Amino acid sequence: MEKLSSFDSPDIADRLWDRGIKILTCSLYFVSGFILSGAELLSMKIPLSIGLAAACTGYELVFSALGGVLGAVLRLNAGDAVNAVIPLAGAVGTVYVLEKLSIRKKRRLILSVSVFVFCFACKTAVMFSEIPSLSEFMLIFCSSLLCAGSVVFYSGTADCIRRKQNIYLLDNHTLVCIVTTLCTLLLGASDISLLGFRPARFFGSFVILTASYLFSRSGGSIAGISLGGCIAVSGTSVALSICYGVCGLLSGVFSKFGRFACALTFSLTAGISALLDGSAEGISVFAEAAAASVVFTVIPGKYLRRIRRNIVSPSVKRAESEFCSAGERLNEAAKAIGSVSECVASVSKGIEALSPAGDIMVCMRVRERVCAECPLKNTFCPEEGEFAEITQKLSQGETIRCEDFSINFNSKCPSVPRLADSFNRIYAGQKAVNAIQANSARSRELACGQFDWISMLLKELSDEIGKGAQVLFNKEKSAMRVLADNGFSVLSVSCINPPSGALRLTCIVEDIPASTSLSRLTAELSRELEAQLNPPKIREVKNGKELLFIRKEMFKIRMGSAAASCGNQKLCGDYFECFRTESKAYIILSDGMGTGGRAAIDSAMTVELFSRLIRAGISLNTALSITNSALSVKSDDESLSTLDVAEIDLFDGNTVIYKAGAAASFYTCSGKIRTVEMPSTPLGILSKVSFNKYTMRLRGGDTLVMVSDGILGSGSIWLKDEIKTFASGPDASEFSENILESARRRCGEKFDDMTVIAAVAEEL
């Protein structure tokens, strides 16, 4: 029972939380309908609660309509109440019909038109029942049009609330809808006053403070200007209303010092504006601002931080759980494929155990073919070692003749010629069977290897998904602010820090302003994100343009290389490739077995296949296994090649050298020459192969030299002297050519394929 209750309690808490949110939402719509029922603009009552009801559905519609009816009855005169309640009922009926018919296409347009028709028809009918006039008719037309237009703004705000959108990353349309909704709410509450203290202005001040704290100077400025203009229209002097925009800007600037600094700046700015105005209205504005600041500072900071974290930077628990689920499935698939490899290996061992030795099988078949029909089979048997000597001669490639049997055996056995012929024939057949079985065993071994590296690959993908890339929501907010300050209309921002450390900032904007300096924009983003970024890569997308900023590496690698083929042949048995990914530089060198075309094919295949796998994101060890399997099945002939790989991290200089049968490498460290030489097995010999690796760190000015074994034909002491003399000189290519020429002189005319690659690290 205790376990059951422990599982039930979170469900009860979740239900209570959901019910509380539902009650709060219903109250919000009810209060909004009540306030909007008496909105006044330019001395004219406009029942915007009609537009709010038309934008809602379900219980939201019910409570907004109830609030609108109650507000119209309590706050409006009889004529205005009729002009508010009847269109409101018509809007509710229209929403109900659309819901029943499941009409979604152009829903907002239909609702806007219906609200306009209901408002205009009702008000016109009331006007003609009294004394009609052209000016009143135009006011009715404008007010009906405003009610119809409000449906669009309220619908956008309601959709944002339902979807729980990230407030900071709203699109322009939704942002305009939210700001307009807040302004109309202030208009509706502007006539409520208690001894000169207006709750609408108090609420506006609190909204400006919250926007300043959450969204810095841009959010405070937008909220202050918008709400100040709305309050000015509702009756406050224009001069005092302008102060709200200034208050929002300054409090946003000081918001980085904390919410207390934000509130103090807001109050002081409002107080200075009140002193400059010198009226009773100014004192009320200061009192309202001070009261809002006090309430703002009294609210526990943990709640504001939670709002900033959960709303501005929404959690990604659902995405993480999906990634974890995918990672677990990949991990299980890796285990399953690995078990297939173990099963194939077990079956192979069983087959080998059941198969008798080849010599025993030959003797058994000879006895069955010749001795079974012999009349002496029960009275005469060859000596124990007689057939053993015969099979030994066969294994040495000899042909069996009658003289190869002993004199005693020849004198007693009447079927010696048939025995000799049977041994020759049956052994030749058994030899062919053994070859087939050996090929079959090799195929099974290769299949096991294929299953093994597929299992390794799936395991790597599982681990990579488990680690995942880190989504930097705070960096996205900072980037959004910088782009907005530079005049960009931002559609979306994504800032991701993958495990490699190559931070990526992707911004989708409507267009790039003509006066934008991309270099200055890159510098500003680098300061805000605390990471040096490269200039953006720009491409056209469906909704606008995409700007891709990638973290700038700390190191640059200067490459130089030189190669010569054995005997000046057309094809060199060495092959190499140098390339870089987002965060790392790679040098890959392979030396094929022998010289000439065959060695060139093996080394080229090794490097090309290995580099493609690395570019695809596969780890070096898995890529090595795949390349080794490919070499093993390339042809019936033996295919061998070495593999020498250097992986250089361009952000911190960490370097790992991987060797599979490769020659020694050399690098400089604090002016000293160090050698990297590790015994290892080339590719193509064994079914399983692994790297030996050496870890080091390159700093600015350090040089790494990788060579094939032809360069070291006359030792390595001279090469160390050459590297020390070079000391990270300006031309790595010339340095490589000098090493090659020195090696050729030392080895004489008969030299092996030679390749030398020099990499010089430079700090940026």
Taking residue 688's Cβ as centre, other Cβ atoms within 10 Å add up to 14
Token digits of residue 346: 């077990």
Q: How far apart are CA 614 and CA 622, in angstroms?
A: 9
CATH 2.60.98 fits 13-166, yes or no: no
185-214: burial string, b at 16+ Cβ within 10 Å, e else = bbbbbbeeeeeeebebbbbbbbbbbbbbbb
The runs of H, that is alpha helices, within 355-415 are 358-369, 386-395, 407-412
> Is the confidence at residue 539, as pLDDT, over 80?
yes
Most confident of 421-425, 439-443, 757-761: 757-761
* pLDDT per position as a tens digit, 247-297: 767 777 777 677 788 788 878 887 787 777 667 766 777 787 788 888 888
Predicted pLDDT at 447? 61
pTM of the predicted structure, to 2 decimals: 0.47
Highest-confidence segment of 88-92, 320-324, 529-533: 88-92
Class of domain 470-550: alpha beta
The residue extents of the domains of the chain are 13-166, 190-314, 342-463, 470-550, 555-763
313, pLDDT greater than 50: no
Q: Can you name the CATH fold of 555-763?
A: Phosphatase 2c; domain 1 (3.60.40)
3-state secondary structure (DSSP) of residue 389: helix
Q: pLDDT higher for 218 or 719?
A: 719
Looking at residue 27, its pLDDT comes to: 86
Summarised one tens digit per residue, pLDDT across range 553-580 is 778 888 888 888 877 777 788 888 998 8
Q: What is the mean pLDDT of residues 298-325?
A: 52
Give me the pLDDT at residue 237, please.
59
Under DSSP, the state recorded for 119 is H
CA atoms 63, 68, 69, 70: torsion sign: positive
Select, from the ranges 383-387, 458-462, 614-618, the one with the highest average predicted confidence (pLDDT).
614-618
Q: According to the model, what pLDDT value does residue 322 have?
A: 41
pLDDT of residue 645: 93
How does residue 588 score in pLDDT terms, banded at 50, 70 and 90? very high
| Most confident residue range from 76-80, 92-96, 192-196, 712-716 | 92-96
Of residues 602 and 170, the one with the higher pLDDT is: 602
Instruction: Quote the pLDDT of residue 3.
Output: 41
Of the chain, the percentage scoring pLDDT greater than 70 comes to: 71
Average pLDDT, the chain: 75
Residue 405 has pLDDT above 70, yes or no: yes
Q: At what angle do helices 58-75 and 78-101 cross, to 10 degrees?
A: 170
Q: Indicate whether 377 pLDDT > 70.
A: no
Residue 13, number of CB atoms within 10 A of its CB: 10
Strand-pairing partners, residue 646, are 587, 657
Q: Compute the distance between CA of residue 265 and CA of residue 249 in angstroms, rounded to an integer.
A: 10
Q: What pLDDT is stored for residue 586 in this prediction?
A: 92
Residue partners of 34: CB distance under 8 A and separation at least 6: 49, 67, 68, 70, 71
Rounded to whole angstroms, what are the CA distances from 491 to 293, 314, 504? 33, 17, 17
Q: Give pLDDT, residue 587.
A: 92
Given this model, what pLDDT does residue 611 score?
87
The confidence score (pLDDT) of residue 251 equals: 73
Model confidence pLDDT, tens digit, residues 201-229: 777 777 777 777 766 656 666 666 666 65
Q: Report in angstroms the alpha-carbon separations of 266 from 5, 269, 522.
A: 50, 5, 32
Is the predicted pLDDT of residue 332 greater than 80, yes or no? no
Quick check: 658 pLDDT over 90?
yes
Q: Is the pLDDT of residue 382 over 60?
A: no
Residue 640, pLDDT score: 80
**pLDDT at residue number 613:** 80
Are 390 and 401 a contacting pair, CB within 8 Å?
no
Rounded to an integer, what distance in angstroms lies between the CA atom of residue 737 and that of residue 403? Answer: 68
Question: Percentage of the chain surpassing pLDDT 90?
Answer: 3
Confidence of residue 646 (pLDDT cuts 50, 70, 90): very high
> CA-based Rg of the chain, rounded to a whole angstrom?
42
**What is the structure's pLDDT at 337?**
55
Q: Dump pLDDT digits (tens) for 493-502.
A: 888 877 666 7
Strand partners, 533: 551
Instruction: Give mean pLDDT, residues 681-691.
Output: 79
**Separation between Cα atoms, residue 588 and residue 580, nearest integer Å:** 11
